[in-house]
Amino acid sequence: MPTSSTSTLDRRAVARDRLPGTTLDTWQGRAAEGPDRVIWPTSKGDVADALTEAATAGVSVVPWGAGSGVVGGASATSGQWTLDLKRLAGIGPLDPVRRTVEVDAGVNGQQLEDWLQARGFTLGHSPSSIGCSTVGGWAAARSAGQFSSRYGTFEDMIVWFEAVSPSLGHMRVGEGGDAPEAWAPLMIGSEGTLAVFTRFALRVWPVPEHRRLRGWQFPDVQSALNAMRLLMDGETWPAVVRLYDPVDTRIGGKTRPKSDHRPWFRDWLDSLRSMPGVSGRALSLPLALPGLVNHVFDRLASGVLLIVGWEGGREVTDALADAGEAILREGGTDLGEEPGQRWFASRHNVSYKLMPIFADGGFADTMEVATTWAGMEPLWRAVRAAVRRDVVVMCHMSHVYPEGGCLYFSFAGRGDRKVWERVWRRALDAVAQSGATTSHHHGIGRLKASSATAEAGIAREGWRQLKRILDPGGLLNPGVLDADHPPHPPADAPPSDAGWTAFAPGQGRWPWADVGLVPPWRRAPWMTSALRVSGPGFLVGRAPRSASGPDLRDWAANHLPVARIEQSAPPDGDGVMARLAGDKPWAIARAVLHADFRPGALGVDAGQLAVGFRGPAADALMSALLRRFPGERVPWRTYPWPWRDLVPCDDEDPAAVTAWLHSVGRPR
């Protein structure tokens, strides 16, 4: 049997995650005792034994990684056991040809990245919590890192995973698995409610040869959003796109040159503290009058900061960055490299800055949601209006994709549990009424369970159906993810943006269209698989890369009366194309993709590989391609992306290109 403990110290160490509401409780003397027992498995057999013992004892089990979640998804109470998975800590083997690594679920994210970089590779997954989160936690919450515009979110990186469920025991899902592949999207994002993750095979990338990061100032949010969208419509594939709203830009002083002076708002707070009758607590007055503070910040703020960066092979990176920066210069002011480098150096610091606010009598929290391009600016305004009387609020917008992106709000308010609850209720109501998705990458937990259930509508039955198969006794993490009484019916999605004009009058790029259901690996891995499936009583896939629990789109399309299936896709407009010399086209395709090219079209013509690019970087990319691979330019032609089930295959099997696109590396 695995090692376990019932000591008070061990139990309290895993009693909760970092949900700010429970941080308030702890700081104000209302800390929970935690689970009755903590168990540390070191193998999948230990996990199975622990679940069997818990079922016999009639207690529920909460899987626990590193406790960095902020939505109450890993909080155990009396009468429960916690399964602390950090001793599942093996890394390797690494397959440098196929570009995959095997890793246990309890491995710390930063330790994995350090291990890979020492061998010349990167996972490309860079959440701000990388130093205090685990691989299994990333899968449980459908995590997204700060470079997701280039590398995708964590679910895009999974080739296969192993897990243990109470009823079926050990299983492998994905390539070479013994469980249905259709279970994968339902288990990823299930937050420990269906099975316990134990091991993964993940896609990796070579460490970037070159990186270009710069700051840009724009006059307002909408002008910056327009530029961001042009970058994605133009298939320039930036790695980082981060827009700070006027308040966030001003508070951080991010559009000004770095100096030895303290940020302006610290001097402002000091002056408030010195006023007669003001408490000595640093944040007491500002957080007691959030409406006034928001008004002052709004009046003082001017302009917004946009951080944009590219990384990868030098020649490709420079071609994409040159085209992207030309777009940014049309409406923005170049601030140089310093803002981008400053962000990059501090990109993981945010997780360690919150406790002083609690110590000074306040609370701080964050909410990340996502929506389509047409919905981003209205959603930003709606959430701010909903909460500004109770909290100081600012926002940055990041994690962008061809279809839209993520809005990441930061709140600071008076340290009152009722205020915190009211803010969340109003904020989530504003998100629901806007038709956006409840979560982009933090997950659901207990905090967002009602809103996420309402968002899914009757499609939530897909999760419940699998729950009855894998955990019929309700052993795993009860109370998380699913709610019996959602507070509101599902809202319509934001406008689809189909008529938006980008580079040519009347030519919309990346429109939504009514299509048949296609597997995600039919599309190139750097393009999102955003898909909206709607019908009577449900609408799933409201925005790119939702993390509102499991991905229910495929299940809904196959099990519910579907009125409409929509997918965003580039238009069939002309680009530039070349036919590459050689009689092994799929081997050449693998070399092209491994050389960091991201073609807009790929196919075989007369036994040779045809590669095409679109957008403002197309000519530069084609020139770079032909310098590396012999071939000749040919007229543009559209090719359907070849796809089949992911199975072992030879280089010249047409299915091989699917494996290269889906798994990055070569199939076994």
Q: In the chain, what are the domain boundaries?
A: 3-84, 91-206, 210-279+301-347, 512-568, 576-663
Mean pLDDT of the chain: 84
Question: Could you tell me the fold of the domain covering 3-84?
Answer: 3.30.43
Buried b (16+ CB within 10 A) or exposed e, 540-568: bbbbbbbbbbbbbbbbbbeebeeeebbbb
pLDDT band at 275 (very low <50, low <70, confident <90, very high): very low
pLDDT at residue 295, as a whole number:
80
Question: Could you tell me the fold of the domain covering 210-279+301-347?
Answer: Vanillyl-alcohol Oxidase; Chain A, domain 3 (3.40.462)
Per-residue pLDDT tens over the stretch 315-349 = 999 999 999 999 999 999 999 999 999 988 888 87
Three-state DSSP class for 421?
A: helix
Other Cβ atoms within 10 Å of 390 Cβ, number: 21
Per-residue pLDDT tens over the stretch 502-521 = 333 333 455 555 555 555 54
Spatial separation of the C-alpha atoms in residues 562 and 66, rounded to whole Å: 39
pLDDT at residue 525, as a whole number:
53
- Regarding predicted confidence, which is higher, 550 or 642? 550
Question: Could you tell me the fold of the domain covering 91-206?
Answer: 3.30.465
Phi/psi at 2 (nearest 5 deg)?
-70, 160
Strand partners, 409: 367, 395
Least confidently predicted of 85-99, 415-429, 529-543, 592-606: 529-543
Say if CB 161 and CB 179 are below 8 A apart: no
- Regarding predicted confidence, which is higher, 354 or 545? 545
Three-state DSSP class for 380?
A: helix
Amino acid at 204: V
pLDDT at residue 271, as a whole number:
43
Closest CA to 255 of 347, 361, 352, 340: 340
- Regarding predicted confidence, which is higher, 283 or 97? 97
Least confidently predicted of 74-78, 277-281, 467-471, 540-544: 277-281
Closest CA to 47 of 106, 92, 7: 106
Check pLDDT > 50 for residue 658.
no
Q: Look at the block and give the residue holding tokens 């990333």.
A: 138
Per-residue three-class SS string for 563-622: CEEEEECCCCCCCEEEEECCCCHHHHHHHHHHCCCCCCEEEEECCEEEEEECCCCHHHHH
Kindly write down the DSSP assignment for every residue of 165-218, as one continuous string. Answer: ETTTEEEEEETT-SS-GGGHHHHTTSTTSS-EEEEEEEE-EEPPSEEEEEEEEE
Quickly list H helices, 481-552. Answer: none
pLDDT band at 239 (very low <50, low <70, confident <90, very high): very high
Cis before 93? omega within 30: yes
Rounded to the nearest 10 degrees, the angle between the axes of helix 221-233 and helix 314-331 is 150
Amino acid at 443: G
Least confidently predicted of 51-55, 153-157, 580-584, 638-642: 638-642
Amino acid at 508: G
